[in-house]
């Protein structure tokens, strides 16, 4: 085996390890707990919010979109599903054509 082959093999191993860590983002800095067929952050919550939306339905969807976007960016896309999240809360205010919502939840991923 040549030195070049060893260097290429080592680079491949490092790339795979780095890719795996990057997919997890910062998720491993928080304690996790198993919830059914999911792994969830035990006590860490994320929030998402919206404002100035034309209806409550649109305001909720936008707040969830913000939650998913930031959570996926910070921890990797496997954590960015509001559908999989636990301990969800939503609070909306407004009326007429101006609605605002805030969602909160613990990020989860499939096992």
- Give the pLDDT band (50/70/90) at residue 64: very high
State the pTM of this model: 0.76
Nearest Cα residue to 61 out of 34, 92, 29:
92
Q: Where are the alpha helices (DSSP H) in the chain?
A: 3-24, 56-75
Average pLDDT value for residue range 74-100:
97
């Amino acid at each position: 085996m040549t030195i070049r082959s060893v260097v290429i093999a080592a680079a491949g191993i490092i790339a795979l390890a780095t890719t795996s860590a990057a997919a997890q983002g910062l998720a491993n800095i928080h304690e996790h707990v198993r919830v059914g067929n999911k792994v969830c952050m035990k006590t860490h919550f994320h929030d998402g919010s919206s404002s100035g939306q034309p209806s409550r339905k649109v305001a909720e969807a936008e707040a969830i979109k913000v939650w998913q976007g930031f959570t996926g960016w910070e921890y990797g896309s496997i954590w960015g599903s509001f559908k999989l999240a636990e301990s969800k809360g939503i609070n909306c205010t407004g009326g007429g054509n101006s609605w605002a919502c805030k969602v909160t939840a613990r990020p989860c991923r499939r096992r």
